[in-house]
Amino acid sequence: MTPGRLTNYATPSLTVFVSLQCLDMITTLLGLRLGAHEASIFIGRLMHAGPVTALLIAKIFAVFLVAAALKFNRPRVVVVLNYWSALLVSWNLVMILLAKSSS
C-alpha cells in the first residue's frame, strides 16, 4: 500500500482498539450482572467457562486478528474492527439502560 492510498481511509488506531476492547469487557460484564444476556452465539457458548474467561478468549482472538491484519498490511481491517467494537459498546450501553429501567 502506498502512503497516498492510506490517506483515503482512516488510519488504524491501536489505542482506540485497546480502549474499545476494555470498554466492551466492562459493559458486557456490567450488563450480565444487571440481567442482560449475551447476544453473540460464539461468546454465549464460551460463557459456560465463565464470563471473564469467555471475554478474555474473545479479546485474544481480536488481538490476533488485528496482528494478522497489520502483518499482512491490511490496516482497514483494524479500522472496521474499531467501528464494529464501538457499535458493540453502544449496544451494551443501551442494554444496560434497558436492564436498569426494567428493574
Convert the pLDDT of each residue in 50-84 to its tens digit: 999 999 999 999 999 999 999 999 999 999 999 99
Average per-residue pLDDT in the chain?
88
**For residue 8, pLDDT beyond 60:** no
Q: Which three cell numbers stand for residue 3?
A: 502512503
4: in domain: no
Location of C-alpha cell 485474544: 60
22 part of a folded domain: yes
Residue 3 lies inside a defined structural domain of this protein: no
Structural domain contains residue 92: yes
Question: What is the total count of domains within the chain?
Answer: 1
What is the model's pTM? 0.83
Cβ-Cβ contacts under 8 Å for 30 (sequence gap 6 or more): 92, 96
Q: Which of 38, 63, 64 is nearest to 51 (CA)?
A: 38
Handedness of CA 17, 19, 21, 27 (dihedral sign): negative
User: Considering the domain boundaries, does residue 52 fall inside one?
Assistant: yes
Which domain does 59 fall in, by range? 13-102
pLDDT in tens, 12-30: 789 999 999 999 999 999 9
